[in-house]
Amino acid sequence: MKRRRAIVTGITGQDGSYLAEFLLEKGYQVYGMVRRSSSENFERIQHIMGDLELVQADLLDQLSIINIVKKVRPVEIYNLASQSFVPTSFEQPVLTGEFTALGVTRMLEAVKLVDRSIRFYQASTSEMFGMAPHSPQTLTTPLHPRSPYGVAKVYGHWITINYRESYKIYAVSGILFNHESPRRGKEFITRKITDAVARIKLGRQKELRLGNLEAKRDWGFAGDYVRAMWMMLQKPRPEDYIVATGESHSVREFAQIAFRHVGLDWKKYVVVDPSFYRPAEVHTLCGDPSKAKRKLKWNPKVSFRELVSMMVDADLELLSKP
């Protein structure tokens, strides 16, 4: 029997690698979209390279996207590629808009031109809520993004809804709150902390310089969140969902627990460095996942404390390898 085909953009990223594993287990033929690079960056998908097909295209290049969709003829497309680091979006706002906002339209145009029956998932984000007027955030909370990244994602969110309403394309937007894992990039706060904790424990680093310790986020495990992406595309009707844990914790709390996990006192190592403050901060986020729980039967399996321990342990193991 012919296997169902899916295209995953951003397959070399954190979520792309977990989603590819998940879809392979479900029996899909997985096509990962990668952009041309002078050196390979396949660390996160190294262990499944033999099971994947990689196709080359770029979010900036419309024709390359149309060509891969024509060639693969997938039943589902997961659009996970973007410039996803908030501080970089302040430094490179135009490029962030090209990737993270217009890139979505280029993907949707390819669906519209090649085959309107393709189901499309857009990776929306809690950063669209930004300065939220209430907590927890729901699908009706007004959007007030606080960075060029958040603004670009609002565009991606609405263009997805617009193609659904205009062309009857099965396009859904998953508004995912922060999700982390041992595969998280080291510039993001959780991995920056767990990598430093492991280095300090092993005597390879002396201090950890951080920005705003009071920022609060609703942190979950990436492996749980990619399951929700797939579930959203299996429903009879396309709808948007919030994926979150419903719990919020501060950066300070994350650091405390991570250091305590290896028997260290965070206060001795963490130094506040204002150079990590952002021009505009998102102070606190907490999502309401009740619709995903009710309609998708989705539930996170990894708790906040389990996530912190998992990431510290993974970094200790990684750094201890000969």
Footprint on this chain of ligand NAP (rule: CB under 6 A): 9-10, 12-16, 35, 37, 41, 58-60, 80-84, 99, 123, 125, 176, 178-179, 185
Per rule CB under 6 A, is residue 278 in the interface with ligand F7E? yes
User: What DSSP character marks residue 183?
Assistant: T
Residue range at the interface with ligand F7E (CB under 6 A); choices 48-56, 69-77, 125-133, 167-175: 125-133
What's the rounded Cα separation, in Å, for the pair 15 and 44? 10
Contact partner, 167, from ligand NAP, ligand F7E, none, Cβ < 5-8 Å per class: none
Q: Shortest distance, CB of residue 191 to ligand NAP, whole angstroms?
A: 10
Per rule CB under 6 A, is residue 84 in the interface with ligand F7E? yes
Q: Shortest distance, CB of residue 113 to ligand F7E, whole angstroms?
A: 28
Contact partner, 217, from ligand NAP, ligand F7E, none, Cβ < 5-8 Å per class: ligand F7E
The number of angstroms, rounded, from the C-alpha of 164 to the middle of its chain's C-alpha atoms is 22
Contact 107, 65 (CB under 8 A): yes
Contact 119, 69 (CB under 8 A): no
Residue range at the interface with ligand F7E (CB under 6 A); choices 61-69, 101-109, 233-241, 277-285: 277-285
Contact partner, 288, from ligand NAP, ligand F7E, none, Cβ < 5-8 Å per class: none
Contact partner, 13, from ligand NAP, ligand F7E, none, Cβ < 5-8 Å per class: ligand NAP
Q: Shortest distance, CB of residue 225 to ligand NAP, whole angstroms?
A: 8
293 is written with which tokens? Answer: 């729980």
* Beta-carbon contacts of residue 2 (< 8 Å; ≥ 6 apart): none
CA distances from 4 to 28, 68, 69, 199, 319 (A): 5, 16, 14, 43, 39
DSSP secondary structure string for all residues of 301-314: -S-HHHHHHHHHHH
Of 17, 64, 96, 126, which one interacts with ligand F7E (CB under 6 A)? 126
Contact partner, 45, from ligand F7E, ligand NAP, none, Cβ < 5-8 Å per class: none
Contact 118, 111 (CB under 8 A): yes
Q: What character string, x for contact with ligand F7E (CB under 6 A) and - otherwise, covers 173-202?
A: ----xx--------xxx--x----------
What's the rounded Cα separation, in Å, for the pair 30 and 276? 38
Residues annotated as catalytic (active site), given as ranges:
125, 127, 149
What's the rounded Cα separation, in Å, for the pair 162 and 66? 19
What's the rounded Cα separation, in Å, for the pair 146 and 131? 7
Per rule CB under 6 A, is residue 127 in the interface with ligand F7E? yes
Q: Shortest distance, CB of residue 289 to ligand NAP, whole angstroms?
A: 13
